[in-house]
Structure 1
């Protein structure tokens, strides 16, 4: 199956990046382990989220989801992974967006990876986004 071209125009990319807002950290404290920090950013679009898990200011895990697609990175694998979420599956009436699952792609979707990188580049003023960009090199 050919990969869908996710490249958007410059204004759409800037708007997606500008819409990302950090969710109140106290909402994540229940999930945290000692020495670990979790960060969550949500965009204005219903299916735009960015999650980070850090230890000692180093990213251990990163996940960017947009419109039913995902780019993630895990320090144990050391590479970017793309996939498809179940967020756009309208058949499950009990679905709760925070409990999404991801089916990994067999081959990385480079168009999607490029799009995520471009969105993050619009927000290099946010230190965690600048740090995440290093994962794309």
Structure 2
């Protein structure tokens, strides 16, 4: 991940995120959780929410082989890597990710994700995601 990403690139990434038709998502085990998917212009750039009672219960943000995760049961942010950029990944499926959690949180990536989300502040789902950084 390029640590020196400039403001224009951050803005371009944020504004490229578009909500995907919900009918493309499979229903999870708990039908009370609404799943929302945003996809950016870059390959392997997307954001998923699980929302229940108007609150995020699960969040995943992936960009360039990195991932940021949050889960209501753990209440902390996790970072990791995905197998999407590995050309030898024989388990590749376009709609799934193999995730390896980092042993230490990648705070530079956390701040990058926050910066990307801030480009869309004022939009309800992005505001909910930004609130996760305050917990």
Q: TM-score range by the shorter chain?
A: over 0.9
Q: Name the counterpart of 1:105.
A: 102
| C-alpha distance 6-98 of structure 1, shift in aligned 2 (>3 A) | farther
Partner of residue 27, structure 2: 31
Q: When you count helix as a share of all residues, which structure comes out higher?
A: 1
* Structure 1 Cα separation of the partners of residues 100 and 4 of structure 2: 21
Equivalent position of 1:52 in the other structure = 49
Structure 2 vs 1, CA of residues 94 and 5 (structure 1 numbering), >3 Å: closer, same or farther?
closer
Residue 5 of structure 1, CA deviation? 5.3
**1:98-125 deviation digits (Å, cap 9, x = unpaired):** 1211100011000000000000000113
Q: Summarize deviations over 1:32-52 as a string: whole Å, max 9, x none.
A: 432110000000000101000
| 1:44-81 CA distance string (max 9 Å, x none) | 00010100001111100000000000001001110000
Where does residue 42 of structure 1 map in the other structure?
Answer: 39
Aligned residue among 61, 74, 77 for 1:77: 74
For structure 1, list consecutive stretches of 5 or more residues without a partner in the other structure. Answer: none
Taking only aligned residues, the RMSD between alpha carbons, in angstroms, comes to: 1.4
Give yes or no for the alignment of 1:9 onto 2:6: yes
The normalised TM-score by structure 1 is 0.91
Equivalent in the alignment of 1:18: 15
Structure 2 unmatched runs, 5+: none
Q: Retained in 2: the 8 A contact 1:81–1:108? A: yes
TM-score (norm 2): 0.92
